[in-house]
Amino acid sequence: MKEFASRHLHQVETSHCVPANVHNQRETIFRNIQDIILLHETSVLPRLSDCTTDDDVALHLLKQAEEFEKYIHYMVGQTQAEASVTEKAIQQNLNTMVTLSMACALGPVSRKRR
């Protein structure tokens, strides 16, 4: 999740190929995803490995309940974000970004010699 979000945020913020309407909608599209990533990296995941039972997991997550309110902010903006990414230009640019990200993740394609 972190790599995916970071890559797309970076591209939207720095690439000259990103249309202005996509760049202007970045706060709407990504909202507080960085806060959610940080929550999982610093609070949820590190201590989750210490849990040995379902009850331990439940207790651990309940202790983080206040922090999970970050998801409320994220979900409140979901309808507006979906509306903005369904605009043709934004949708086309996001599809291009996903394709490029997948290509980068796969690395260079090896070619067979004949």
- pLDDT tens profile 27-46: 888 888 889 999 989 888 99
Instruction: Let me know if residue 86 belongs to a domain.
Output: yes
Instruction: Let me know if residue 112 belongs to a domain.
Output: no
- Ramachandran sector of residue 107 (left: φ over 0; alpha: ψ -120 to 50; beta: rest): left
* pLDDT exceeds cutoff 60 at 112: no
Total number of domains constituting the chain? 1
Instruction: Let me know if residue 113 belongs to a domain.
Output: no
* pLDDT exceeds cutoff 80 at 7: no
Residue 110: predicted pLDDT: 46
pTM (predicted TM-score): 0.63
Instruction: Let me know if residue 111 belongs to a domain.
Output: no
Instruction: Let me know if residue 43 belongs to a domain.
Output: yes
Contact of 29 with 84, CB cutoff 8 Å? yes
Domain that residue 48 falls in = 2-106
Instruction: Let me know if residue 20 belongs to a domain.
Output: yes
Structure tokens at 56: 């331990």
Rounded CA-CA distance 84/34 in Å is 19
In this predicted model, what pLDDT tens digit does every residue of 48-96 receive, in sequence order? Answer: 889 999 999 999 999 988 999 999 988 998 888 888 777 776 777 767 7
Residue 107: predicted pLDDT: 61
